[in-house]
Amino acid sequence: MLKGYLSRLPLTDRITFSRELWSGTFYGIFAGIALPLVTIMARRIGMGPEAITAMVTMQFVGALFGVVLVHVASRRAKMPFVVWPGVASRGLIGLLAFAQTPVPILVIASAFNLLVNLGGPAYASIMRRNYSNFNRWRLIGNIRILVTIVSAIFSSAAGLVLIENEHIVWWLFLVAAAFGALSSLTFGTIKVRWEPKLSPEPHVRWEGSGLRLLGSNCLLLLFLGLLFLCAMPDKLAVPL
Protein backbone atom coordinates (compact mmCIF):
# COMPACT_ATOMS: atom_id res chain seq x y z
CA MET A 1 0.00 0.00 0.00
CA LEU A 2 2.82 2.38 0.91
CA LYS A 3 4.62 1.57 -2.33
CA GLY A 4 1.52 2.45 -4.34
CA TYR A 5 1.09 5.69 -2.40
CA LEU A 6 4.72 6.68 -3.01
CA SER A 7 4.53 5.84 -6.72
CA ARG A 8 1.92 8.57 -7.21
CA LEU A 9 4.24 11.28 -5.89
CA PRO A 10 6.69 13.35 -7.95
CA LEU A 11 10.27 12.08 -7.76
CA THR A 12 11.65 14.68 -5.33
CA ASP A 13 8.56 14.43 -3.13
CA ARG A 14 8.86 10.64 -3.11
CA ILE A 15 12.55 10.52 -2.19
CA THR A 16 12.22 13.20 0.49
CA PHE A 17 9.11 11.64 2.00
CA SER A 18 10.64 8.14 2.04
CA ARG A 19 13.66 9.31 4.00
CA GLU A 20 11.59 11.51 6.25
CA LEU A 21 9.44 8.48 7.11
CA TRP A 22 12.52 6.81 8.61
CA SER A 23 13.64 10.02 10.28
CA GLY A 24 10.16 10.54 11.74
CA THR A 25 10.01 6.96 13.01
CA PHE A 26 13.33 7.32 14.81
CA TYR A 27 12.25 10.68 16.22
CA GLY A 28 8.97 9.19 17.42
CA ILE A 29 10.92 6.56 19.38
CA PHE A 30 13.10 9.29 20.88
CA ALA A 31 10.20 11.55 21.76
CA GLY A 32 8.05 8.76 23.17
CA ILE A 33 10.77 7.58 25.53
CA ALA A 34 12.58 10.75 26.51
CA LEU A 35 10.22 13.71 26.52
CA PRO A 36 7.66 12.44 29.06
CA LEU A 37 10.30 10.87 31.29
CA VAL A 38 12.45 13.98 31.67
CA THR A 39 9.95 15.92 33.77
CA ILE A 40 8.65 12.79 35.53
CA MET A 41 12.10 11.76 36.71
CA ALA A 42 13.06 15.35 37.55
CA ARG A 43 10.02 15.59 39.79
CA ARG A 44 10.69 12.22 41.42
CA ILE A 45 14.21 13.19 42.48
CA GLY A 46 12.97 16.39 44.09
CA MET A 47 13.32 19.15 41.49
CA GLY A 48 11.15 22.10 42.49
CA PRO A 49 8.38 23.59 40.35
CA GLU A 50 10.37 26.77 39.67
CA ALA A 51 13.28 24.78 38.24
CA ILE A 52 10.96 22.61 36.15
CA THR A 53 9.25 25.74 34.81
CA ALA A 54 12.60 27.27 33.83
CA MET A 55 13.66 23.98 32.25
CA VAL A 56 10.62 23.47 30.03
CA THR A 57 10.28 27.10 28.95
CA MET A 58 13.81 27.16 27.52
CA GLN A 59 12.38 25.65 24.34
CA PHE A 60 10.68 28.94 23.58
CA VAL A 61 13.92 30.85 24.15
CA GLY A 62 15.49 28.45 21.66
CA ALA A 63 12.70 29.17 19.18
CA LEU A 64 13.57 32.88 19.34
CA PHE A 65 17.22 32.10 18.65
CA GLY A 66 16.04 29.94 15.75
CA VAL A 67 14.56 33.04 14.12
CA VAL A 68 17.98 34.71 14.34
CA LEU A 69 19.72 31.59 13.08
CA VAL A 70 17.56 31.32 9.97
CA HIS A 71 18.71 34.79 8.92
CA VAL A 72 22.32 33.74 9.38
CA ALA A 73 21.57 30.66 7.28
CA SER A 74 19.56 32.52 4.65
CA ARG A 75 22.32 32.39 2.02
CA ARG A 76 23.98 29.17 3.18
CA ALA A 77 23.23 25.46 3.04
CA LYS A 78 20.21 24.81 5.25
CA MET A 79 20.77 21.18 6.12
CA PRO A 80 23.59 21.66 8.68
CA PHE A 81 21.35 24.05 10.60
CA VAL A 82 18.82 21.22 10.98
CA VAL A 83 21.10 18.23 11.49
CA TRP A 84 23.70 19.43 13.98
CA PRO A 85 21.39 21.21 16.46
CA GLY A 86 19.27 18.04 16.30
CA VAL A 87 22.20 15.72 16.98
CA ALA A 88 23.50 17.97 19.78
CA SER A 89 20.16 18.42 21.52
CA ARG A 90 19.07 14.79 21.31
CA GLY A 91 22.53 13.53 22.20
CA LEU A 92 22.44 15.61 25.38
CA ILE A 93 19.49 13.55 26.59
CA GLY A 94 21.80 10.54 26.86
CA LEU A 95 23.74 12.34 29.62
CA LEU A 96 20.69 12.10 31.86
CA ALA A 97 21.57 8.45 32.43
CA PHE A 98 24.57 9.68 34.45
CA ALA A 99 22.98 12.74 36.08
CA GLN A 100 20.50 11.76 38.76
CA THR A 101 20.44 14.88 40.92
CA PRO A 102 18.39 18.04 40.30
CA VAL A 103 21.12 20.49 39.23
CA PRO A 104 22.73 18.39 36.43
CA ILE A 105 19.31 17.41 35.13
CA LEU A 106 18.24 21.05 35.12
CA VAL A 107 21.33 22.06 33.13
CA ILE A 108 21.13 19.18 30.63
CA ALA A 109 17.39 19.41 30.05
CA SER A 110 17.54 23.22 29.73
CA ALA A 111 20.33 22.92 27.16
CA PHE A 112 18.26 20.34 25.27
CA ASN A 113 15.21 22.58 25.26
CA LEU A 114 17.30 25.54 24.13
CA LEU A 115 18.78 23.66 21.15
CA VAL A 116 15.79 21.55 20.13
CA ASN A 117 13.96 24.29 18.22
CA LEU A 118 16.94 26.00 16.60
CA GLY A 119 16.55 24.09 13.35
CA GLY A 120 12.82 24.71 12.95
CA PRO A 121 13.00 27.60 10.44
CA ALA A 122 15.72 25.87 8.39
CA TYR A 123 13.60 22.69 8.36
CA ALA A 124 10.63 24.67 7.07
CA SER A 125 12.81 26.11 4.29
CA ILE A 126 13.93 22.63 3.22
CA MET A 127 10.36 21.38 3.17
CA ARG A 128 9.35 24.35 1.04
CA ARG A 129 12.10 23.50 -1.45
CA ASN A 130 11.70 19.73 -1.57
CA TYR A 131 7.93 19.25 -1.47
CA SER A 132 5.67 20.49 -4.23
CA ASN A 133 3.01 23.02 -3.27
CA PHE A 134 0.21 20.55 -3.94
CA ASN A 135 1.60 17.77 -1.71
CA ARG A 136 3.59 19.66 0.90
CA TRP A 137 1.18 20.02 3.79
CA ARG A 138 -0.38 16.60 3.29
CA LEU A 139 3.03 14.91 3.40
CA ILE A 140 4.20 16.97 6.38
CA GLY A 141 0.92 16.13 8.12
CA ASN A 142 1.43 12.42 7.45
CA ILE A 143 4.88 12.61 9.06
CA ARG A 144 3.36 14.31 12.11
CA ILE A 145 0.75 11.56 12.38
CA LEU A 146 3.48 8.91 12.16
CA VAL A 147 5.53 10.61 14.87
CA THR A 148 2.49 10.85 17.13
CA ILE A 149 1.61 7.16 16.72
CA VAL A 150 5.17 5.94 17.28
CA SER A 151 5.60 8.29 20.25
CA ALA A 152 2.39 7.00 21.84
CA ILE A 153 3.53 3.38 21.51
CA PHE A 154 6.99 3.96 22.96
CA SER A 155 5.72 6.33 25.64
CA SER A 156 3.39 3.58 26.84
CA ALA A 157 6.26 1.09 26.82
CA ALA A 158 8.46 3.49 28.80
CA GLY A 159 5.63 3.94 31.31
CA LEU A 160 5.46 0.20 31.84
CA VAL A 161 9.21 0.11 32.44
CA LEU A 162 8.84 2.95 34.94
CA ILE A 163 6.22 0.98 36.84
CA GLU A 164 8.33 -2.18 36.92
CA ASN A 165 11.77 -0.75 37.68
CA GLU A 166 12.46 2.95 38.11
CA HIS A 167 16.25 2.46 38.04
CA ILE A 168 16.19 1.02 34.51
CA VAL A 169 14.41 4.13 33.27
CA TRP A 170 17.60 6.20 33.52
CA TRP A 171 19.28 3.96 30.95
CA LEU A 172 16.37 4.44 28.58
CA PHE A 173 17.69 7.97 28.05
CA LEU A 174 20.74 6.48 26.30
CA VAL A 175 18.47 4.48 24.00
CA ALA A 176 16.35 7.54 23.28
CA ALA A 177 19.42 9.68 22.56
CA ALA A 178 20.72 7.13 20.05
CA PHE A 179 17.43 7.10 18.14
CA GLY A 180 17.17 10.89 18.33
CA ALA A 181 20.63 11.42 16.85
CA LEU A 182 19.92 8.75 14.21
CA SER A 183 16.77 10.63 13.25
CA SER A 184 18.73 13.84 12.58
CA LEU A 185 21.46 12.02 10.66
CA THR A 186 18.86 10.20 8.55
CA PHE A 187 17.18 13.49 7.74
CA GLY A 188 20.59 14.82 6.73
CA THR A 189 20.74 12.31 3.86
CA ILE A 190 18.01 14.24 2.05
CA LYS A 191 19.39 16.20 -0.87
CA VAL A 192 17.99 19.72 -0.75
CA ARG A 193 16.46 20.78 -4.04
CA TRP A 194 17.51 24.07 -5.62
CA GLU A 195 20.06 24.75 -2.93
CA PRO A 196 21.50 28.23 -3.53
CA LYS A 197 25.21 28.61 -4.16
CA LEU A 198 27.21 29.33 -1.05
CA SER A 199 28.28 32.94 -0.81
CA PRO A 200 29.52 35.28 1.91
CA GLU A 201 26.75 36.50 4.14
CA PRO A 202 25.99 40.16 3.40
CA HIS A 203 25.60 42.62 6.22
CA VAL A 204 21.83 42.92 6.55
CA ARG A 205 19.87 44.59 9.33
CA TRP A 206 17.25 41.87 9.25
CA GLU A 207 15.46 43.14 12.34
CA GLY A 208 14.82 46.46 10.61
CA SER A 209 13.45 44.81 7.50
CA GLY A 210 11.25 42.58 9.63
CA LEU A 211 9.77 45.54 11.47
CA ARG A 212 9.10 47.34 8.19
CA LEU A 213 7.30 44.25 6.90
CA LEU A 214 5.09 44.15 9.98
CA GLY A 215 4.36 47.86 9.81
CA SER A 216 3.27 47.68 6.19
CA ASN A 217 1.06 44.59 6.40
CA CYS A 218 -2.03 44.98 8.56
CA LEU A 219 -3.37 41.53 7.69
CA LEU A 220 -0.12 39.93 8.84
CA LEU A 221 -0.27 41.89 12.10
CA LEU A 222 -3.85 40.72 12.62
CA PHE A 223 -2.88 37.11 11.87
CA LEU A 224 0.06 37.25 14.30
CA GLY A 225 -2.14 38.77 16.97
CA LEU A 226 -4.75 36.03 16.63
CA LEU A 227 -2.02 33.40 16.58
CA PHE A 228 -0.61 34.82 19.80
CA LEU A 229 -4.01 34.73 21.50
CA CYS A 230 -4.55 31.13 20.41
CA ALA A 231 -1.07 29.93 21.37
CA MET A 232 -0.71 31.75 24.69
CA PRO A 233 -2.94 29.45 26.81
CA ASP A 234 -1.18 26.37 25.43
CA LYS A 235 2.25 27.80 26.23
CA LEU A 236 1.14 28.80 29.72
CA ALA A 237 0.01 25.22 30.29
CA VAL A 238 3.39 23.71 29.37
CA PRO A 239 5.10 24.29 32.75
CA LEU A 240 1.91 23.27 34.57
Name the average pLDDT for the chain.
Answer: 86
**73 pLDDT band (50/70/90 cuts)?**
low
- Asked if the model's pLDDT at residue 18 lies above 90, the reply is yes
Torsion 155-227-62-57 (CA) sign: negative
Per-residue pLDDT tens digits for 165-183: 888 889 999 999 999 999 9
- Asked if the model's pLDDT at residue 184 lies above 90, the reply is yes
Q: Stretch 65-88: mean pLDDT, rounded?
A: 81
- Asked if the model's pLDDT at residue 203 lies above 60, the reply is no
Per-residue pLDDT tens digits for 148-165: 999 999 999 999 999 988
Q: Stretch 203-214: mean pLDDT, rounded?
A: 58
Question: What's the full length of the chain, in residues?
Answer: 240
Report the alpha-carbon distance of residue 131 to residue 68 in Å, rounded.
24
For the chain, give the percent of residues with pLDDT over 70. Answer: 88
* DSSP structure string for 69-86: HHHHTTTS-SHHHHHHHH
SS3 call for 234: helix
Calculate the alpha carbon distances from 95 to 24, 49, 164, 197, 227 in Å. Answer: 23, 22, 22, 38, 36
**Helices 206-215, 218-237: crossing angle, 10 deg rounding:** 110
Q: Stretch 208-214: mean pLDDT, rounded?
A: 63
Contact 67, 124 (CB under 8 A): no
Report the alpha-carbon distance of residue 149 to residue 16 in Å, rounded.
20
Question: 13-17, 96-100, 194-198: lowest mean pLDDT where?
Answer: 194-198
- Asked if the model's pLDDT at residue 71 lies above 90, the reply is no
Instruction: Specify burial of residue 92 (Cβ count, 10 A radius: 0-12, 13-18, 19+).
Output: buried
pTM: 0.83
For residue 182, how far is the Cα from the chain centroid? 14
Q: What's the CA angle centered on 223, arms 217 and 225, to 5 degrees?
A: 105
Closest CA to 82 of 40, 149, 128: 128
Per-residue pLDDT tens digits for 84-128: 999 999 999 999 999 889 999 999 999 999 998 888 888 988 999
Report the alpha-carbon distance of residue 223 to residue 218 in Å, rounded.
9
- Asked if the model's pLDDT at residue 207 lies above 60, the reply is no
- Asked if the model's pLDDT at residue 238 lies above 80, the reply is no
Helix (H) or strand (E) holding 168: helix 166-187
Helix runs in 45-165, H state only:
49-72, 79-93, 102-116, 120-130, 136-164
Q: Which CATH number fits domain 9-199: 1.20.1250.20, 3.40.50.1370, 3.40.50.300, 3.90.1150.10?
A: 1.20.1250.20
Torsion 228-208-120-34 (CA) sign: negative
For residue 120, how far is the Cα from the chain centroid? 6
Q: Stretch 36-57: mean pLDDT, rounded?
A: 88
